[in-house]
Chain A
């Protein structure tokens, strides 16, 4: 270490700690819930997700009870269908994905050596959205109106009001709302991992967990938007009768299956990779050595991330698509096995090269692996088209997916709970209870799910509420039910162990782990006492005295003289400090924004249009207030001393700033949703001989005018940024106003196309898809105009200047994406009908 460390007298240290404590203080009383500190939010998030898991588990037990014997009449068919639909939905959307967002938000700051992730208020907003959406979706079953068409909601069963009730709307709108929360978390995680690592933590030294989460957050960005696009089409059909999936009017039920599974299959890996990430933290600790094959893990994570997007049709092998297409997806499905195998052998190799301590976390980890390998092997089987023709939609698949998810995700999570419990509470869970829980869960699980392979191959389809007694399934089902209850006892044991009173440990690092998070003192909310310089993958093993130096405030940011929450921003590859970022503090605006946005979705479900509009306006106001008061704040001094003789800027704009990255990442996700809509357009073109069905298109003239105006608007936006940077404020404002006018004009021209040609979206899918694409572009233009007005207001208020120009730079970035969206939209709807 070449940098001289700071030295402070005990008095100075006490004063520093007092200031830090004050800056990072968690509010008391009811205001506690306005906290935005990531470790707080992470905990709430995790507990909520775990609660939803228990709820969905109870539903599963009801399902198992009904199926225990043939011709059972314990549950009605309708309730059974609601129960299994909600079981799948809740486990996937309210437990599996959110629990990792929770764990990531909770662990990442300490693991990366950051005080805080860059957007704590965004995390709080995500949490409140998640809670509200989750309660809304789960609560529906108590009013007998839960979704009942299976967690993948195939149309026309789920689109037609003849076949499905309000449950389908609750599913669509409730989950769309939660998807917003997931994308918010993804933005937070990506920017956090790329920009907020401790100095010296180069990309070859990032903890494995961070590598995985980076990939997973990237996957969320490309996987969730297709579902959001699908949800929009779906809800337009349910609410207004636009026939996207109605075969009689040119739609096709298969489009939903494509969009759903483009989301659905990556989602499996979005769930699985973070669990493996936990294992990658646990295995080295208990093998008492660094992981073997760090680069192999990176290969596996990145490889899985990519390949998982080429698997979706393997959920559609029986839909009658050309066999050659099926075979491509079968091939990619086999290829994804390779990185998965690599991960398993990385763990085995690490254990081989170390001396293994079989603790409870290790027990759950190894047990999970034993289970997961069976799920992986049956996965290889069902990925082969001929076998899937038989196994698809049977209990064989039910067995397969539970082996994968419980072995690959639930067991590692429990391992993670046992491993990280001392990290957040300073107490340890019991070894005895843990072992009992493990064996109950392991044995119960296998008794419950192994027989399902056989009932499936013997012809038992999934999602049946009853079955005959004489086809050879009865014994298998009874055994499964018994196993399910043994398994549930195991889960209950874990819950009891968590709530049992325990004594405080006098040790921050009871497992003798090597990674940075174990320097964290759970009693303080400041995260790191000072932000260390890292020179190893396992700094606690390789950097002697690190813990002591951190606690003595010898590194960066030992103080909080401004009284603000501050964290370091570092460069992407080599983690050189480049900025001292002031993050948002405690606020109620996030709750207001989340509740109002929730109000929009809930009101839409019940078609309360006025409430919808009121809530939308409140949401917009709350977000504007949040941005105005909480972002791009001009600091009193341009630079500040962060300790160790280093001075860093407080305000940066452009690609160096975290805000720019958040905008970029959000727009990549947005672009994916747009691409999904365009996929829909070309999908209809492929399946029909004449996809316009002889109906009017939007013509060429108006779309061309729209394109021209959007390009003009883009040019003016660039000019505005340029003028503002050159301190020609009046010119910049003028350019902004003209740009705004041009994009509004473009929007009107865009709408005029389908309007003047009298395209009726309810008559056929062609006008419907044209309208939806045009509306998508126009909505983006309107949002852009609001951003421009915001910039103008900031400029007039004197808080957007030539030097402090984050707002206008970020809006220009938005404009690049908007222009691409508009040009592609109007270009395709206007010109493609001519050239096809």
Chain B
């Protein structure tokens, strides 16, 4: 298995600070206090936390959760209190009639009212959280994401649905604008999830699902596959970078007009060893479509869909022994390539920006 650290390069500054406190203290305290702790600390919990929302959908859900959490704690304390009271020995037994009324009120009537209110709140929330699903997807910027064992194919589409360009394992999106993700899968079921921005949506062979998400503040977030999809399900992540509108437009046009890549020793080796059978690099003769598109690979944070930090050494290792890093990865091993060649290709890939 992978011995090296699985890591994300960029992270929000508060993460390191809160990680230590919330967790070790949590272990020592009783259940009730952990809940309260979490309420206090929940606003600070990382690049992949549903409780650290960076978009309207996630923040609606976080609010819903906090409302339910407080209600839940009150109910739990009430029930446990009643249980303890009922278990006390020095106490006159209640009459059967009074006990019957306890069932009627606490067991039936109060829950009916509370649940009806909660259900109405949640059902009212649904169409408001995802209004785009009632046919209002026109005009949204579209990104097609395809979950494949065990990586993400990401295609930027124009308003007519034509592919502008393709990349992999990274999503770059503008802040303050709903982006429509068109979700597909060619092999097994995956699930597309960026906890900081909103809920997940499955990618099901034969079906096309749609999910519109909005980032409300710039930053880097982490997305993962949330439906078990095979041996390396755990090693299928992607990064989400939310940029201010201007920056985003600049990035987009930069990628669309990628200058043709100058030939190099690394590219020649890449082609000689047949990497182009599966991989494409825009502006070169590498036009394979089976595996991830490697254009601007050097700008990505990780190798192998969030598995290893993007260094030349890791790239070379991945080329030679992908299955050691990612069990049963679809990419065949290129252990027969001389180490020097693999390093050369790695350097070339790392240099693609």
Query: Are any A and B Cβ atoms less than 8 Å apart in their complex?
Result: yes
Q: Is B219 an interface residue (CB 8 A)?
A: no
Closest to B199 in A: A389
Per the 8 Å Cβ criterion, residues 323-366 of A in contact with B are 323, 326-327, 330-331, 334-335, 337-338, 341-346, 348-356, 358, 366
A345 and B80 in contact (CB under 8 A), knowing A384-B122, A468-B5?
no
Q: Which of A289, A386, A475 has most chain B Cβ within 10 Å?
A: A386
Q: Is B233 an interface residue (CB 8 A)?
A: yes
Contact B76 A380 (CB under 8 A): no
Q: Is B266 an interface residue (CB 8 A)?
A: no
Query: Which residues in B have their C-beta under 8 angstroms from that of A344?
Result: 79, 107
Query: Which residues in A have their C-beta under 8 angstroms from that of B261?
Result: none
Query: Which residues in A have their C-beta under 8 angstroms from that of B68?
Result: 377, 380-381, 384, 387
Contact B228 A150 (CB under 8 A): yes
Contact B122 A454 (CB under 8 A): no
Q: Is A613 an interface residue (CB 8 A)?
A: no
Give the CA-CA distance A89 to B352 in the complex, in Å.
47
Give the distance to chain B from A714, nearest Cβ to Cβ, in Å: 41
A384 and B202 in contact (CB under 8 A), knowing A320-B207, A338-B111, A459-B46?
no
Query: Which residues in A have their C-beta under 8 angstroms from that of B99?
Result: 292-293, 349-350, 352-353
Q: Is A253 an interface residue (CB 8 A)?
A: yes
Contact B129 A342 (CB under 8 A): no
Q: Is A463 an interface residue (CB 8 A)?
A: yes
Contact B107 A341 (CB under 8 A): yes
Give the distance to chain A from B224, nearest Cβ to Cβ, in Å: 6
6 smallest beta-carbon distances between A and B, as pairs: A389-B199, A247-B206, A475-B23, A345-B107, A459-B48, A73-B1
Chain B 1-22 interface mask (CB, 8 Å, partner A; 1/0): 1111111100100010011101
Q: Is A696 an interface residue (CB 8 A)?
A: no
| B interface, size bucket | 35 or more
Contact A384 B23 (CB under 8 A): no
Contact B103 A458 (CB under 8 A): no
Stretch from B138-146, B170-178, B187-195 forming part of the interface with A: B187-195
Chain A interfacial positions (CB closer than 8 Å to B): 70-73, 76-78, 81, 148-150, 154, 156-157, 160, 163, 247-248, 251-254, 289, 292-293, 296, 318-320, 323, 326-327, 330-331, 334-335, 337-338, 341-346, 348-356, 358, 366, 369-370, 373-374, 377-378, 380-381, 384-394, 446-447, 450-451, 454, 457-459, 461-472, 474-476, 479
A380 and B118 in contact (CB under 8 A), knowing A353-B95, A353-B99, A464-B233?
yes
Closest to A378 in B: B72
Stretch from B86-94, B278-286, B336-344 forming part of the interface with A: B86-94
Contact A71 B31 (CB under 8 A): no
Q: Which of A253, A346, A387 contacts B61 (CB 8 A)?
A: A387
Give the CA-CA distance A326 to B118 in the complex, in Å.
16
A163 and B125 in contact (CB under 8 A), knowing A247-B207, A353-B96?
no
Contact B111 A337 (CB under 8 A): yes
Contact A471 B46 (CB under 8 A): yes
Contact B83 A370 (CB under 8 A): yes
Closest to B209 in A: A320
Contact B46 A337 (CB under 8 A): no
Q: Which of A381, A392, A450 contacts B200 (CB 8 A)?
A: A392
Q: Is B274 an interface residue (CB 8 A)?
A: no
Closest to B223 in A: A459
Q: Which of B1, B49, B87, B96 contacts A458 (CB 8 A)?
A: B49
Give the distance to chain B from A530, nearest Cβ to Cβ, in Å: 33
Query: Which residues in B have their C-beta under 8 angstroms from that of A78?
Result: 231, 327-328
A386 and B230 in contact (CB under 8 A), knowing A342-B108, A459-B46?
no
Query: Which residues in B have their C-beta under 8 angstroms from that of A458?
Result: 45-46, 48-51, 195
Chain B 255-271 interface mask (CB, 8 Å, partner A; 1/0): 00000000000000000
Contact B49 A479 (CB under 8 A): no
Contact B230 A338 (CB under 8 A): no
Q: A319-B209, A337-B115 are in contact. List 10 more A-B contacts (CB 8 A).
A: A157-B229, A342-B107, A351-B83, A353-B93, A377-B68, A459-B49, A461-B225, A463-B234, A465-B233, A470-B8
Give the CA-CA distance A380 to B111 in the complex, in Å.
11
Contact B94 A352 (CB under 8 A): yes
Give the CA-CA distance A157 to B233 in the complex, in Å.
12
Give the distance to chain B from A278, nearest Cβ to Cβ, in Å: 17
Q: Is B299 an interface residue (CB 8 A)?
A: no
Contact A459 B224 (CB under 8 A): yes
Closest to A456 in B: B50
Contact B122 A386 (CB under 8 A): yes
Q: Is B163 an interface residue (CB 8 A)?
A: no
Contact B115 A338 (CB under 8 A): yes
Closest to A342 in B: B107
Give the distance to chain B from A308, nearest Cβ to Cβ, in Å: 16
Query: Which residues in B have their C-beta under 8 angstroms from that of A462?
Result: 228
Give the CA-CA distance A150 to B130 in the complex, in Å.
30
Contact A338 B108 (CB under 8 A): yes
Q: Is B205 an interface residue (CB 8 A)?
A: yes
Contact B24 A475 (CB under 8 A): yes
A351 and B86 in contact (CB under 8 A), knowing A386-B129, A451-B26?
yes
9 of the cross-chain contacts (CB-CB < 8 Å) are: A160-B188, A330-B122, A338-B111, A349-B94, A350-B99, A353-B93, A374-B76, A386-B64, A468-B6
Give the CA-CA distance A384 to B118 in the complex, in Å.
9
Closest to B121 in A: A384
Query: Which residues in A have their C-beta under 8 angstroms from that of B103?
Result: 292-293, 296, 342, 345-346, 349
Contact B75 A377 (CB under 8 A): yes
Give the CA-CA distance A316 to B26 in the complex, in Å.
32
